[in-house]
Amino acid sequence: MFEWKEAYSVGIEEIDKQHKNLLGIGEELVYVMENTTKGLDQYDEVKRLLKELYDYTIYHFTSEEKLMEKHDFLELPSHQFQHKLFVKKLEEIDLEEFDNDQLETTNQLLDFIANWITEHILKEDQKYSKIIREKEA
């Protein structure tokens, strides 16, 4: 679900590294979900991982946006808007709801994160990376 694929590479080493780290946090969430299916209470671990995901996402989005700004990427406002929507979704996660139904909430969360990250990298991030690589060539 969160396995790195070469198709995700944007050809910018630092951004690829950050994407791999985001996927790694997703992998940790999968592990936690597997423990949830075994009936283990994973509230504290999910809470920790969501904080880690949130903090790292902010760091990554800031890095990405600075890079786009440096290279005058014309679609920066649209890209920033997408980033804001993702952050808003993370902020809206109801930990009380999670605590009441850990398995269902974790599954929904994993699906959302996996789909967003992979779709965003494959479509949106490829746009700016192509332009930046052309400018740096």
pLDDT tens digits, the chain, 137 residues: what are they? 899 999 999 999 999 999 999 999 999 988 888 877 676 677 888 889 999 999 999 999 999 999 999 999 999 999 999 999 999 999 988 777 777 777 777 788 889 989 998 899 999 999 999 888 888 77
CA angle 131, 127, 137 (to 5 degrees): 20
- CA 129 – CA 12 distance, rounded (Å): 7
Whether 81 contacts 50, CB under 8 Å: no
Q: What is the spatial distance between Cα 119 and Cα 121, in angstroms, rounded to a whole number?
A: 6
Contact 1, 30 (CB under 8 A): yes
Q: CATH number for the 12-136 domain, one of 1.10.260.40, 1.20.120.50, 1.10.3720.10, 3.40.718.10? A: 1.20.120.50
pTM of the model: 0.89
The Cβ of residue 117 has, within 10 Å, a number of other Cβ atoms equal to 20
